[in-house]
Amino acid sequence: MSGIILSGLSIGLFLSTPVYSQDCIQITAKEIYDPATDQILKGTSLVVQNGKIHSLTSEPNDCSQLDLSKLTLIPGLIDLHTHIFLEDKTAAVRFSDELVRLGKWSSDQRTSFAKDQLRSILKSGFTTIRDVGNSGMFLDTKLRDSLASDSEVLPRIFGTGPGIATEQAQFKTGVVGIESEYFLAKLPFKEEAFSPFLKNKVDGIKIYADNDPGKGQMPEELLKQLVTFFHSKKLKVSAHATNDASAWMAANAGVDSIEHGYGIKKRTLELMAQKKIYLIPTEMSTRVVQLVNRRNPDPLYVSARELHRKRGKRLRLALTLGVPIGFGSDAYMDLSKARLSRGELTLESLIAYSEEGLPASAVLKTATVWAADFLGRDDLGRIREGATADLVGYEKSPLKTAQGLKEPSFIMKDGKIVLFRQARK
């Protein structure tokens, strides 16, 4: 069929009922960027059918026509480090108390909260997330499974279940309720203890190599046993490691990613490059540092420039050394009073990579093709025939400025249009 069925919805809106056609849609854009090949395609249109990119063509055809000729199209974004079941209203000043507060919520309450975060994240162009703990006991995998029969279009979820930690995990000493938020492990290692992860079909594992901002560190022997066990079950293991010592230990134990790695040193990055261990840097943009600084007395947040100087150095070094990098927002603070939604906060973390000196194409790759490769999904994060039709369009090309990411004009997930704003004249 041909026609203009899509032109009727071209006034700026977020669609609660997605537009979906079994018929094909031919999308013409100003340019299409494929992060996998690093190519900018001009004069090419995309044909989307049954949720997939059916073909790339320069010839008009009989499909419904969608004119995005003012937009730059890229694949839907991926966030490898979310906490959609977590919020912190204290700007990280009283994180442990916030965990206790959330522990009192019912599972339904927490899941409904998480769905709100998903809606917000989708509006910012993220079509895939990996949630890494602070999700109660397997609320993430339960929500993932329930989305399969949900008519609402939300980002697809990869879930790790609760983070595996030792001692007090990220709680303050003496607080009760740790077991309903973290999965506590100890030596001697017993396989059976970890059967809930297999029963709930987690997509990966999150381990706390250190408990920062809590006290303590996982014993190396336990970390090794956990990595060996979960690798035997074909599950990737991610280690929360903020300092160099815990990152070094985790890299040696053979984890698949280091989350945060703020204090990571060259020797550890070299080992990661050699073993192809991902760095998932969770950074703060200038705007977010300033907002946090108003409420958190930690000297870390006094100067965004100083923070970016330190963290940017290790981030650029990781790229130079060939460490695979995947985007992680670690967005968990509630900054809604400062008019920053969860989705916007997520984007700020990606913009921070640019502020720390990563080139625009690398910034986009961390949140598309490189993140998809970490998830083992070669149908995501790229533009090619047969790939999943997750697309985001921008008037200001994010290849020119990361700030362009803040204003998506078009969002499609699985071939379904969820946002379409008519381009400005």
Residue placing its CB nearer to Zn ion in the complex, 64 or 160: 160
Residue placing its CB nearer to Zn ion in the complex, 138 or 208: 208
* Residue spans of beta strands (DSSP E) within 178-319: 183-184, 205-208, 237-241, 257-260, 278-280
The CB-of-260 to Zn ion minimum distance in angstroms stands at 7
* Residue from the set 131, 256, 330, 348 that interacts with Zn ion by CB under 5 A: 330
The CB-of-341 to Zn ion minimum distance in angstroms stands at 18
Query: Is 208 within 8 Å of 166 (Cβ atoms)?
Result: yes
Residue placing its CB nearer to Zn ion in the complex, 268 or 349: 349
Alpha-carbon distance 68 to 395, whole Å? 9
Residue with the closest Cβ to Zn ion?
Answer: 330
Alpha-carbon distance 368 to 364, whole Å? 6
Amino acid letter for position 283: E
Residue placing its CB nearer to Zn ion in the complex, 134 or 341: 134
Contact segment (CB under 5 A) with Zn ion among 45-53, 327-335, 366-374, 397-405 equals: 327-335
For the four alpha carbons of 338, 339, 342 and 346, in that order, the dihedral sign comes to negative
Residue placing its CB nearer to Zn ion in the complex, 242 or 293: 242
The CB-of-134 to Zn ion minimum distance in angstroms stands at 7
Query: Is 256 within 8 Å of 205 (Cβ atoms)?
Result: no
The closest alpha carbon to 215, from 171, 181, 184, 179, belongs to 171
Q: Between vectors from CA 353 to CA 348 and to CA 358, what angle results, nearest 5°? A: 150
The CB-of-201 to Zn ion minimum distance in angstroms stands at 22
The CB-of-81 to Zn ion minimum distance in angstroms stands at 6
* 229: DSSP letter: H
The CB-of-396 to Zn ion minimum distance in angstroms stands at 29
The CB-of-83 to Zn ion minimum distance in angstroms stands at 6
Residue placing its CB nearer to Zn ion in the complex, 76 or 328: 328
Alpha-carbon distance 232 to 236, whole Å? 10
The CB-of-315 to Zn ion minimum distance in angstroms stands at 17
The encoded tokens of residue 311 equal 């963290």
Q: Between vectors from CA 204 to CA 228 and to CA 124, what angle results, nearest 5°? A: 155
Contact segment (CB under 5 A) with Zn ion among 89-97, 104-112, 329-337, 391-399 equals: 329-337
The encoded tokens of residue 230 equal 């979960």
Q: Which of residues 31-90 bind Zn ion (CB under 5 A)?
A: none
Query: Is 164 within 8 Å of 182 (Cβ atoms)?
Result: yes
Residue placing its CB nearer to Zn ion in the complex, 330 or 356: 330
Alpha-carbon distance 316 to 353, whole Å? 9
The encoded tokens of residue 95 equal 């994180």
The encoded tokens of residue 425 equal 């004249």
Residue placing its CB nearer to Zn ion in the complex, 206 or 413: 206
Torsional class of 244: left (φ above 0), alpha (ψ -120 to 50), beta (otherwise): alpha
Q: Is 131 in the site for Zn ion (CB under 5 A)?
A: no
The closest alpha carbon to 79, from 131, 29, 34, belongs to 131
Contact segment (CB under 5 A) with Zn ion among 71-79, 309-317, 330-338, 373-381 equals: 330-338
The CB-of-350 to Zn ion minimum distance in angstroms stands at 15
Contact segment (CB under 5 A) with Zn ion among 72-80, 190-198, 326-334, 392-400 equals: 326-334
How big is the site for Zn ion, counted in residues (CB under 5 A)? 1
Contact segment (CB under 5 A) with Zn ion among 101-109, 165-173, 267-275, 323-331 equals: 323-331
| Chain contacts with Zn ion (rule: CB under 5 A) | 330
